[in-house]
Structure 1
């Protein structure tokens, strides 16, 4: 298919964006080292009033790395990081890489079942977590290969007097305080840092082939798979991002990091971008519209990577007009489709540029982006990034589709993963003649701009999170009253999509929405729990008994359109 690939998108590249980039073949942590050597006193991160320079973060990352070595971590071992955005998440990420170990990013919202699966599948030896999730980890500890737990608290990196006040705030908010029992297997993050030496660890890393990250994702089967991303994959994708934003003041931007670092999108365009570009990251542990508005004004944020739900939350905040948002130059939107109205309203508020991109975990994650200062066709995911080939696989011919013809997007580039962790069959299935099959259906127009029209996968995108129906269905099937269940995504004005479950109860059994909600919350992260339940006597099926999920989705789409028309006519 090599000869058939056309690249009409290159005609739209401004002179400042290169068609080809010479990427550094060095490990990711070397960029933190370079920042500490070249600009040691420059602020790298700001966290709720506390600031740390490049040299301070590098020093603590080295100490963390030496602490891991004392715990027996060697090159190739997996270290799980289960933290909200914080200085600890940056320090432990780069410190882990300094040992040659592989980072396993773990969502701190996960319940025990989800944590256990990820720890067992990755074979992680160490996990770093906040005190609030410590009990969950200890409940599954003996079912995994974990040997050590490193525990930290939000207050550990808060400035005075917030660090003294936080325990009282925590107790009031959560009505309890976790008592961590430190021993030979459970360690204090701050004590490890204080007692370790900042010695450099001799390390031979093959950036092209050695893994830096196992990032878990799902698929049509619902089974969470570890995406194997090398140092080179992550360096390449972050470099592409930096070169695409060619008009920014490199090294002097202020990046708002409200996207979680445990999500590959936030990790690449937030944390790694800041370190490699030499810019300052302002870290927030979670997104809160009012807090974000205050931070943008106070810290003079210039670059704001986010998800559509974040921008929707900001433009609809009743106090938005009270804040000065004029410092914002550009916003990078991903994780879900960006409504045109949201883009226009946000740009009017900030006078900055808000553009949409596209990617997937298997590509580190970004593959496409709209031009920040150029043509942006409505509804388009933009143009492929430098060195990124994209083709549409025609379902009819199995060859490259003609412009305008819908088919499956295929990607090829330096950011594409090595494969799935310990899943050679799944890896083989997702590659086609060296191309990564995305599972997304779309087309390219005559000019080279790309559009997504549907997902081949059944994945639900809610609030920037990937939700896989089968996982929800498997949990609901455990309820004694349920005979059949199908989960789908339905349109939601805030989250993009939300989860709806269609339920068929067993004969003679009863269950209420409240009961099912409580049941799901015990077994699923909050963002995966269905918001809507519909009880039916039967579900649409094929002649062989397979549930027709697509029929249910089309029913909901028709209802949504009818509701929209009725609203307009009234």
Structure 2
């Protein structure tokens, strides 16, 4: 039985969209240049009440590239972006590519130890940083890195209405030892950098995903990866000239990088940004800019449902809504549809696949797994092959549970400077996702568990090892184990279990606060439970399964 026998609407959808997307652009710069030629005066970015046209974005990123080259940054160097969802992210991203360099996307919630690790691993020579992050986070660790050029900027740039809900606590700050990004751009405005040749297999962005052991790994997202998936999202969702993209996903995250930034650079659809997500501000901006498409973690849509002023009329323009990064409860999709009239479509991907490999087609709804109650993650997207394999690597028949493995133009070339990890994750060019699931007899894919111990909290990925390492830094902690436990809002919550050293004491509240001051907000455990002994196997291996069961 084919995938279309029981889902005729899927056959109709596929008939209008080819499964194989032919190469159109060699790199993301060619992609953007085509959109500038097509609509130079059309808005590229809308930020609160500020607007940057495509030609202005082109001009600003030219100047940024000239500034990098003038300061000795050369082709192949890494430029780290430590920014929220601000227009400067796109300026710096494009300018980095125009200088022939590689962007390093860094979560602005990272603390000193996390930022230092990523800067050192990537070997970044330049850093673009928010003023508000320079003093408390970036400044103290730069001496441990190869960074030679630091540029700072503010959330207040490129708009005139300081929304008190998002920007009320933001002040301009003079950062010692850093160059103002706007001043650098003004010095080189009107100049163009020398032409640079970037091939499809050149690395465009390093996006970091933690490993089960050791330091985080930088996934090498190439220009081919970005261009392919930007086009795949455009065609899957049907983005055209009249559309507006609502940027709720963080741009440093692969979802925001592809389905917001790269999509807006490919098409002539404006991208609406508002620094960081705040539900009331989001509702106001939807009213003002009337976006038609967005993609974000399910927590975004839960927050919109909890915004008391939001009405179906306010969100009526958002006719294409997708969510990925965390499991979606069917009850949430029903509640959102009842309140606002729009169905939340599931989408699935990883950092190593430059985001989507599977998605629910726009004109359909995902079936629900009858046993677990989980929504299907969809069907494979264009040019993507997905398999379910057993422990021996052999394909499993429909209905059998195994590991999801994928291959396609969106799969990364590997991990930055980590050949062994690359070989282990990508044998024969097939990415082993570590997610366990099955395909039903009509072609829908479902996830039922994770092969690894990764925790998925509100769309952010957390590895237990990293949290455990911080807990172990506390003088009273003897043993530590971290698991994900169900949470109504985030999908999963990080919870720690510890045993204490003889003669020492520490309360759960003290341990939570200890981690909170050392880790990004989404990583630290919201709960810590103190036990006399942690459950272990006969060989001493911690039994996380038993801890989850508690």
Whether TM-score is above 0.5 comes out as: yes
Q: Which residue of 2 aligns with 1:542?
A: 537
Give the Cα–Cα distance (whole angstroms) in 2 for the partners of residues 455 and 316 of structure 1: 30
1:331 counterpart = 2:321: yes
Using a 3 Å threshold, how does the CA distance of structure 1 residues 206 and 63 change in structure 2: closer, same or farther? closer
Using a 3 Å threshold, how does the CA distance of structure 1 residues 432 and 18 change in structure 2: closer, same or farther? same
Q: Which residue of 2 aligns with 1:383?
A: 379
1:455-474 matched pairs, under 5 angstroms: 455-474=450-469
Q: Which residue of 2 aligns with 1:58?
A: 58
Give the Cα–Cα distance (whole angstroms) in 1 for the partners of residues 28 and 343 of structure 2: 29
Give the Cα–Cα distance (whole angstroms) in 2 for the partners of residues 9 and 499 of structure 1: 40
Residue 434 of structure 2, aligned match among 439, 442, 449: 439
Confirm or deny: 8 A CA contact 2:35 2:268 kept in the other structure. Answer: yes
Shift of 1:438: 0.4
Shift of 1:86: 0.7
1:196 counterpart = 2:182: no
Shift of 1:207: 2.7
Give the Cα–Cα distance (whole angstroms) in 2 for the partners of residues 145 and 224 of structure 1: 18
Using a 3 Å threshold, how does the CA distance of structure 1 residues 34 and 433 change in structure 2: closer, same or farther? closer
Confirm or deny: 8 A CA contact 1:325 1:349 kept in the other structure. Answer: no
Give the Cα–Cα distance (whole angstroms) in 2 for the partners of residues 178 and 483 of structure 1: 42
Shift of 1:31: 2.4
Out of 189-198 and 434-443, give the one that drifted further: 189-198
Confirm or deny: 8 A CA contact 1:369 1:381 kept in the other structure. Answer: yes
Confirm or deny: 8 A CA contact 2:454 2:461 kept in the other structure. Answer: yes
Q: Which residue of 2 aligns with 1:137?
A: 138
Shift of 1:328: 1.2
Q: Which residue of 1 aligns with 2:371?
A: none
Q: Which residue of 1 aligns with 2:206?
A: 214
Using a 3 Å threshold, how does the CA distance of structure 1 residues 352 and 49 change in structure 2: closer, same or farther? same
TM-score, L = length of structure 1: 0.91
Instruction: Give the root-mean-square deviation of aligned CA atoms.
Output: 2.1
Shift of 1:200: 3.3
Shift of 1:271: 1.3
1:319 counterpart = 2:309: yes
Confirm or deny: 8 A CA contact 1:294 1:323 kept in the other structure. Answer: no
Q: Which residue of 1 aligns with 2:155?
A: 154
Residue 471 of structure 2, aligned match among 471, 476, 484: 476
Shift of 1:288: 1.2
Shift of 1:119: 0.5
Is there any run of 5+ residues in structure 1 with no aligned partner, and where? 1-5, 557-570
Give the Cα–Cα distance (whole angstroms) in 1 for the partners of residues 309 and 318 of structure 2: 18
Give the Cα–Cα distance (whole angstroms) in 1 for the partners of residues 451 and 81 of structure 2: 31
Residue 229 of structure 1, aligned match among 201, 221, 224: 221
Q: Which residue of 2 aligns with 1:72?
A: 72
Confirm or deny: 8 A CA contact 2:100 2:198 kept in the other structure. Answer: no
1:252 counterpart = 2:242: yes
Q: Which residue of 2 aligns with 1:565?
A: none
Is there any run of 5+ residues in structure 2 with no aligned partner, and where? 369-374
Give the Cα–Cα distance (whole angstroms) in 1 for the partners of residues 497 and 507 of structure 2: 13
1:16-415 matched pairs, under 5 angstroms: 16-135=16-135, 136-159=137-160, 162=161, 173=169, 178-182=173-177, 186-221=178-213, 223-246=215-238, 248=239, 250-321=240-311, 324-378=314-368, 379-395=375-391, 397-415=392-410
Out of 344-353 and 124-133, give the one that drifted further: 344-353
- Residue 321 of structure 1: SS of its match in structure 2? coil
Give the Cα–Cα distance (whole angstroms) in 1 for the partners of residues 541 and 143 of structure 2: 38
Give the Cα–Cα distance (whole angstroms) in 2 for the partners of residues 301 and 61 of structure 1: 25
Shift of 1:334: 0.5
Confirm or deny: 8 A CA contact 2:248 2:300 kept in the other structure. Answer: no
- Residue 527 of structure 1: SS of its match in structure 2? coil
Using a 3 Å threshold, how does the CA distance of structure 1 residues 523 and 444 change in structure 2: closer, same or farther? same
Confirm or deny: 8 A CA contact 2:312 2:341 kept in the other structure. Answer: no
Give the Cα–Cα distance (whole angstroms) in 1 for the partners of residues 185 and 200 of structure 2: 30
